[in-house]
Amino acid sequence: MSNSKKQKYERYIDKSSIPGHEEKSSSGKTKFNVNQAKIDDVKTALENDTNAPSWLKGGAYTEEDNPHGLADRSDFIILFPQYREQYLKENISQIESTLAASPYYLKVSLNCKEGKMVVETTEKTFDPFIIFKGRDFLQLVARGVPFQQAKKVLEDNVFSEVIKIGNLCRNKEVFTKRRQRLFGPDGSTLKALEILTGCFIFIQGKTVSVIGEVNGIKTVSEVITDCMNNIHPIYHIKQLMVKRELKNNPEYANVPWDKYLPKFKKSVNKSIVKKKNKKLKPKKEYTPFPPAPEKSKKDIAIETGEYFLSEQEKQRKKEVERIEKQHEKKIEKKKENEKLYQPPKEEEIQRREKLIVLSSRMTA
């Protein structure tokens, strides 16, 4: 851009938003004063300027914007898990043809021995940012995202993020339960998030792959991290539904939305509170001496005198004990049988007579 054009647009730019032109507060911290009206003025000035390139106005970056190509070649290495090897072998030709076509002109190579893919620029590549798009595309394919969905990242204004959730929970059991919350019953929670944010969400192992616009990806990442920190995604979904209704209504465009958004109180699990409030067991009295060791079978046998008996005497003793136990059981059984033949007590006879009289009155 020439000096005259720079001077033309300089008057619209708020220098406080440029690094090196920040205002310092009394505490010494940097203050950024971004004036939205001035930004809008710059945008309108660019739109009205016929000599400004199309990509500067928000259009597509074409080959005419960079006819000489890139100054140097660049590449990225993407690793993939072993279970994904078979899928990549079957679809590598499709991936290569997609990235090699216009307007991408990227080269892909698959190395199954080392478990990696390499994406690099070619002589025909003119877009300096497309190499990052190609890297993101291969990352998504390596994480298990279907080819047709991952291909959307190559479009303009479509981005992706791979969110790591494996280290957000204290143990595996809690992790699996909270990850299941993201799916919801029959995948309803995940589907609702996709509709409200306009993003494609794919959960695989300890990562969540998100494809969509910047604002949608930001919202999804907040919901996912909160879910892993024990905040249910249904609360976020309710807020997003209200926000969408307010956004579609022009009456609420310049009104703060805080009072319209639902607010939720933190519920306390009573079972956890009971466990916390459980009384501690009283401590035993401190004794400086260690407890006496438990007696072994040999020690007990020496105390009772069995240790000094011969084998015949031991067998005879066991036989005597067995006969005594049998005799005791016989006596108990005899007592139980005698109870059946004992006459009832007077109190029992009187109680039965009363019942007979009452039953006769009821029938009469």
How does pLDDT run across 214-260, given as a tens digit for each residue?
Answer: 999 999 999 999 999 989 999 999 999 998 888 888 888 788 888 88
How does pLDDT run across 30-62, given as a tens digit for each residue?
Answer: 444 556 667 777 677 766 666 666 666 566 778
Q: What is the mean pLDDT of residues 68-93?
A: 92
Report pLDDT for 12: 44
Q: Is 296 inside any structural domain?
A: no
Clarify whether residues 172 and 254 are in a common domain.
yes
How does pLDDT run across 147-178, given as a tens digit for each residue?
Answer: 999 999 999 889 999 999 999 988 899 999 99
The answer to whether the CB of 149 falls within 8 A of the CB of 211 is yes
Q: Are strands 116-121 and 200-204 parallel, antiparallel or unpaired?
A: unpaired
Spell out the SS3 assignment of 163-209: EECCCCCCCHHHHHHHHHHHHCHHHHHHHHHHHHHCCEEEEECCEEE
Report pLDDT for 282: 79
What CATH number corresponds to the domain at position 213?
A: 3.30.1370.10
Q: Which residue has the tokens 């798009």?
A: 133
Report pLDDT for 277: 64
Clarify whether residues 7 and 23 are in a common domain.
yes
Report pLDDT for 46: 64
Look at residues 93, 122, 152 and tell me which one is the last residue of a structural domain. Answer: 152
Look at residues 271, 296, 324 and tell me which one is the last residue of a structural domain. Answer: 271
Clarify whether residues 209 and 138 are in a common domain.
no
Q: Which structural domain range is residue 244 located in?
A: 157-271
Q: Is the pLDDT of residue 21 over 60?
A: no
Q: Is the pLDDT of residue 201 over 90?
A: yes
Q: What is the mean pLDDT of residues 313-341?
A: 89
Number of domains in the chain: 3
Q: How confident is the model at residue 360 (pLDDT cuts 50, 70, 90)?
A: confident
Clarify whether residues 82 and 183 are in a common domain.
no
Spell out the SS3 assignment of 78-126: EECCHHHHHHHHHHHHHHHHHHHCCCCCEEEEEECCCCEEEEEECCCCC
Q: How far is Cα 123 from Cα 73, in angstroms, rounded to an integer?
A: 8
Report pLDDT for 192: 94
Contacts of 207 (CB under 8 A, 6+ apart): 143, 162, 163, 164, 165, 166
Clarify whether residues 163 and 259 are in a common domain.
yes
Clarify whether residues 80 and 45 are in a common domain.
no
Look at residues 152, 183, 203 and tell me which one is the last residue of a structural domain. Answer: 152
Q: Tell me what percent of the residues of the chain surpass a pLDDT of 90.
A: 43
Report pLDDT for 52: 64
Q: Is the pLDDT of residue 195 over 80?
A: yes
Question: If you average pLDDT over every residue of the chain, what do you get?
Answer: 82
Q: Which residue has the tokens 């299941």?
A: 180
How does pLDDT run across 253-301, given as a tens digit for each residue?
Answer: 788 888 888 887 776 666 666 666 666 777 888 888 888 889 898 999 8
Q: Tell me what percent of the residues of the chain surpass a pLDDT of 70.
A: 80
Q: Is 265 inside any structural domain?
A: yes
Residue with the bigger pLDDT between 176 and 13: it is 176
Q: Is the pLDDT of residue 11 over 60?
A: no
Contacts by residues 121-126 (CB-CB < 8 Å, ≥ 24 positions apart):
121/70, 121/73, 121/74, 121/75, 122/73, 123/69, 124/69, 125/69, 125/70, 126/61, 126/63, 126/65, 126/66, 126/67, 126/69, 126/70
Clarify whether residues 47 and 107 are in a common domain.
no
Q: Is 307 inside any structural domain?
A: no
Clarify whether residues 72 and 85 are in a common domain.
yes
Report pLDDT for 249: 86
Q: What is the CA radius of gyration of the chain?
A: 41
